[in-house]
A and B are shown apart, each in its own frame.
Chain A
Amino acid sequence: MVFSLSSEQTSEFDQILTRYPTKQAACIPVLHLCQKANGNWISEEVIQFVAEKLELSTAHVKGVVSFYSLLNEKPPGKHQLWVCRTLSCALRGSESILAQCEKRLGIKAGETTPDGNVTLRTAECLASCGSAPMLQLDDKYHENLTTERLNALLDGLIEKPKATT
């Protein structure tokens, strides 16, 4: 399937290009835009599209995509959850935060729930050390986590089993 942007996204694309002296410099912001438009991942079609629009080789765009951890080479779940694991968070209990996520979601870090709802990952320091332990759910930080607060957050993410009729 050929990838394309909506007219609104196209004007955002054009806007991004005006910021830089070269088309290539728009590569990462444009990849973010396209990733969002493509269900949070960069497919072969997206790579083709970006390469063509920015007059780059597909090899260059692929190289960029594979370098950065927030450009997904495979489709993630509907929600992306990152638990910070680095020292400041680890000193305040990030290991049990991760364990609680794994237990309730029934998956290990790096996996997606079978219903495709949540992808769980660990993150390296998210610059939130003073409010550790913390996690990022999609675009939002959740800081000073406690077992109760995490449970409430996970409740909202876990699809309730459908009532049998």
Chain B
Amino acid sequence: MLKRTELILNGQSSTEALTIADYMAAGGYRAADRALSMSRDAIIQEVKAAHIRGRGGAGFDCGMKWGFMPQPGPKPHYLVVNADEGEPGTFKDRQIMELNPHLLIEGCIIGCYAIGAHACYIYVRHELHLAKERLWAAIEQAKDKGYLGKHPFGKAYPVDIYVHTGAGAYICGEETALLNSLEGKRGEPRLKPPFPAQAGAFGCPTSVNNVETVSAVTLAMRMGGDAFSRMSALHEFNDGGVRLFGVSGHVERPGIYEAAVGLTLRELIDDLGGGVLGDRAMLGVIPGGSSCPILLPNEVVNVPGDPRFAPYNGKCVLDLPMGVDTFRSIGTMLGTCCAIVLSDATDPVIACRNLMQFYKHESCGQCTPCREGCGWLDRILEKVIAGQATLDELNLVSEVASNIAGNTICAFGDGAAGPMLAFIQKFRPAFEDYVRNGGTHQTGRLTL
């Protein structure tokens, strides 16, 4: 159901950041002021009632994650905001940081207090210079107002926020790699357990949350958790509130759109994105960043045994509300909720190789199945496209991908294997055409 909102980006149409004065005129910083007079547990209960599913891709419930944080002990606690936006197709967090940075800063203050932290690091990927600049400026403005520092809002609960930067590595978006990078090390993921809530940044209890997640906390605390959750069409799936929906690739109006959770892919692509570019038919859509298996427009929802799916069973997947659990149930993921649309001009084999080149380049190299496997996938696909591969080698693709999945320290391996397996399963004839006929029946290109 399409229900557009203007809460996260405040309906910002200009390219300037919302000033602190305008932010406050719209009710800004009152939620943080109030939160600092509440108990930690009361805040976490409110966030739980908001059903904010992690906006970074994994979809884990924010309130639950904060609930895992231990009571204050001898070690300091940290809030770390993941702003290492780099999942191919994803460009939403940048919008918040560049256009409405105070929404995030306010969320950081609330978050610090809720998890017992006095310091928050916002880990921004290095390339996003404008976002860093605007966050630092917002921090200074909040400090001047007395909302940060030793006595935020006059309360004896010091909060400091720092912008930290990476140096160009997709893997640092993985939370434990990010923590290593924050500590000044190579950004290689850590084995879990221990989870960050036990031993995160600097060996201390830490919660790592995505930019949009922390920003959503501000909204939930402003309007009340339950009211926030009920804006969503997927409230009964415990998937609440509003979020940013991105659409890129072959659509008329690519961009970021804000709406209530529960929008369908068709609404995102046709109503918001203006439909497939050049009136072409759709080949497929990658729903939420490159790690999510591609969906085809002829796929139907089939989730028997769950009464919540009764209204959708038998319908096209494009008409299923976009949610963390709804999309997991149809064999893909919601991921970052930024869709990449491929028109029928696109050669699926070439699109698949484009993604595998990405994974090959970005594998951190720590785990053998991923380091070697991603390289193999790219090399075999290169051979396929050159018309030099055999059917046995095509089968090797599935074998290599299956041997990466589940056999690595972090989720990167699954993120590479998932799309590979989906492409070769759903576009098998196109891959075979390359092997048998050198791809003569394929378009051989990505553009229109």
User: Which residues of A are interface residues toward B (Cβ below 8 A)?
Assistant: 19, 21-22, 24-29, 31-32, 54, 56, 60, 63-64, 67-71, 85-88, 90-93, 95-96, 123-132, 136, 139-141
Q: Which A residues touch B167, using CB under 8 A? A: 28, 31-32, 68-71
Q: Which B residues touch A54, using CB under 8 A? A: 184
Contact B129 A129 (CB under 8 A): no
Q: Sort A-B residue pairs by CB-CB distance and give the 9 closest, nearest first.
A: A27-B184, A68-B167, A70-B168, A129-B248, A69-B168, A24-B184, A67-B186, A88-B248, A125-B88
Closest to A60 in B: B185
B446 at the interface (CB under 8 A from A): yes
CB distance from A41 to the nearest CB of B (A): 13
User: Which residues of B are interface residues toward A (Cβ below 8 A)?
Assistant: 76, 85-91, 93-94, 125-130, 162, 164-170, 181-188, 202, 246-250, 254-256, 286, 290, 338, 340, 342, 346, 351, 354-355, 357-358, 361-362, 364, 446-447
Which of A28, A123, A132 meets B184, CB within 8 Å? A28
Query: A2 to B418, alpha carbons, bound, how many Å?
Result: 49
Closest to B343 in A: A91
Known interface pairs A22-B202, A28-B165, A91-B250; A86-B91 also in contact (CB < 8 Å): no
CB distance from B187 to the nearest CB of A (A): 6
Contact B91 A90 (CB under 8 A): no
Which of A26, A27, A70 meets B126, CB within 8 Å? A70
Provide 21 A-B residue pairs closer than 8 Å at the C-beta atoms, listed in order of the A residue: A25-B202, A26-B184, A56-B184, A68-B169, A69-B167, A70-B127, A70-B167, A85-B354, A87-B340, A87-B351, A87-B355, A87-B358, A91-B346, A92-B249, A95-B447, A125-B290, A127-B125, A129-B88, A129-B254, A129-B338, A130-B247
Query: A16 to B416, alpha carbons, bound, how many Å?
Result: 36
Contact A64 B185 (CB under 8 A): yes
Contact A129 B162 (CB under 8 A): no
CB distance from A139 to the nearest CB of B (A): 5
Contact B202 A21 (CB under 8 A): yes
Contact A19 B162 (CB under 8 A): yes
- Give 14 A-B pairs besides A63-B186, A85-B357 with Cβ atoms closer than 8 angstroms: A19-B164, A24-B183, A25-B184, A26-B184, A28-B166, A29-B164, A54-B184, A56-B184, A68-B167, A86-B355, A88-B248, A127-B90, A127-B127, A129-B88
Contact A124 B88 (CB under 8 A): yes
Which of A68, A91, A130 meets B168, CB within 8 Å? A68
Query: A26 to B125, alpha carbons, bound, how many Å?
Result: 15
Contact A86 B185 (CB under 8 A): no
Q: Which A residues touch B447, using CB under 8 A? A: 90-93, 95-96
Query: A77 to B264, alpha carbons, bound, how many Å?
Result: 46
Q: Which B residues touch A29, using CB under 8 A? A: 164-165
Contact A130 B255 (CB under 8 A): yes
Query: A87 to B351, alpha carbons, bound, how many Å?
Result: 7
Q: Which of B76, B184, B187, B250 has the most C-beta atoms of chain A within 10 angstroms of its own C-beta? A: B184
Query: A24 to B127, alpha carbons, bound, how many Å?
Result: 22
Closest to A93 in B: B447
Contact A127 B94 (CB under 8 A): yes
Q: Which B residues touch A140, using CB under 8 A? A: 129
Contact B340 A129 (CB under 8 A): yes
Query: A96 to B447, alpha carbons, bound, how many Å?
Result: 10
Closest to A35 in B: B167
Which of A67, A71, A87 meets B88, CB within 8 Å? A87
Known interface pairs A87-B354, A91-B249; A127-B181 also in contact (CB < 8 Å): no
